[in-house]
Amino acid sequence: MTQRSSVLQAARRAPLAPRWPKKVASTLLTMAVTVLGLLFVTFMIGRVMPIDPVLAVIGERATQAQYDATFRELGLDKSLVSQFFIYVRDVLHWDFGTSIRTGQQVSTDIARVFPATLELATLGTLIGVIIGVPLGVVAAVYRGSWIDQTARVVGLVGYSMPIFWLGLMGLLIFYGILGWVAGPGRLGVFYQGVVPTVTGLMLIDTLLAGEWTIFKDAFSHIILPASLLGYFSLAYISRMTRSFMLEQLNAEYITTARVKGLSEWEVVWKHAFRNIRIQLITVIALAYANLLEGSVLTEIIFAWPGLGSYITTSLLSNDMNSVLGGTVVIGTIFVALNIFSDLLYRFFDPRAK
């Protein structure tokens, strides 16, 4: 019987071996199809825009011979299908064309401005998580109390208030009147170019260089826009945390834990909160992705030299290569973060395994 049981157990475990390669292949295929769809959409946008890409490159005073040569050089004489495959090939080689506004490769411009957006969105997400998660937990524990009502009002204001209005009010109060923070921009004029670029993240580069004065100046510039983004992230995260916690606190195993005599701290944090951590992974990943792609207005208000500001300026200059290149990068990051959160969900949740 013992030998038979071992054989049966081995037979049951055998089919589980090839599941991981299939899951990985399925995930990669999903990501590839999604990114390909994104490329198709951006390609069609570039073709239907009422902007002549040839004139955007050579100017309106070019001769007909120059126009025809550039037309063929850009591949516009080929069919749309051929143009699309050429476009996909160039993107896979990190080639988005040349920016009309800066005269440099779009990929070079994106590599230069994206760290500013990454730093701003990361700090904003950290603020949202550090404040939003405990706020949502406490609001669920004290449901119906003034704490819960305050948390709900904070979330409602975060969802309702226009971000540009809050940004202008923040600059007026904390910079113009109180003088607690620095003004627009990423760094003071006197500190521009002093710190060597290592990571592109100003706070980290100043720490690596040991420039504490410049670090304080960089922190004073970023704290207000990051807090503004963190507030919008906080509104979403706290609301979802409260909803997840209320569902767990009404479950039967929580009643059982309290009957056993466990303290309220153990019931809330060791039992209820432990079961919502997996759901919070997805929420936080989506909040982070939204800040990466949705910080355009914040960057414009605070003159933050990030990707959102770069795309907006390029759009006003009819620089479609830069606009589409930035759109592809943001879309790809959004897809990657969604896939990453899904993988984390499967890793931490035994039921998903």
What are the C-alpha distances in Å from 242 to residues 48, 50, 259, 281? Answer: 45, 47, 23, 15
- The residues, ordered by sequence, that sit 6+ positions from 104 with a Cβ below 8 Å of its Cβ are 98
pLDDT digit string (tens) for the chain, length 353 residues: 445 455 445 444 444 445 656 766 777 787 788 888 888 888 887 777 767 677 666 666 777 777 778 777 777 777 778 888 888 888 888 888 888 788 788 889 999 999 999 999 999 999 999 999 999 999 988 888 888 888 888 888 877 788 888 888 888 999 888 888 888 888 888 888 788 888 888 999 899 888 899 999 999 999 999 999 999 888 889 989 999 998 888 888 888 878 887 787 888 888 888 888 888 888 888 888 888 876 788 888 898 898 888 888 888 877 888 888 888 888 888 888 888 777 777 766 655 55
- b/e 13-28 (16+ beta carbons within 10 angstroms → b): eeeeeeeeeeeeeeee
Amino acid identity of residue 153, one-letter, is V
β-sheet bridge partners, residue 98: 105
Q: What is the DSSP string of 17-47?
A: TTHHHHHHHHHHHHHHHHHHHHHHHHHHHHH
Q: Residue 142: name the closest of 249, 234, 273 by CA.
A: 249
114-348: in CATH 1.10.3720.10: yes
β-sheet bridge partners, residue 105: 98
**Predicted structure pTM score:** 0.82
Coil vs helix vs strand at 79: coil
Long-range contacts, 179-186 (Cβ 8 Å, 24+): 181/220, 181/221, 181/223, 181/224, 182/217, 182/220, 182/221, 183/221, 184/301, 184/302, 184/303, 184/304, 185/221, 185/302, 185/303, 185/304, 185/305, 186/116, 186/218, 186/221, 186/222, 186/304, 186/305
Residue 144 DSSP symbol: T
Q: What is the DSSP string of 251-279?
A: SHHHHHHHHTT--HHIIIIIIIGGGTHHH
CA distance 121 to 308: 11
Q: What is the DSSP string of 157-195?
A: HHHHS-HHHHHHHHIIIIIIIS--S--SSSS-GGGTTTS
Work out the angle between the directed axes of helices 146-160 and 212-249 (0-180°, nearest 10): 120
In the chain, where the domains are located: 24-92, 114-348
pLDDT at position 124 is 92
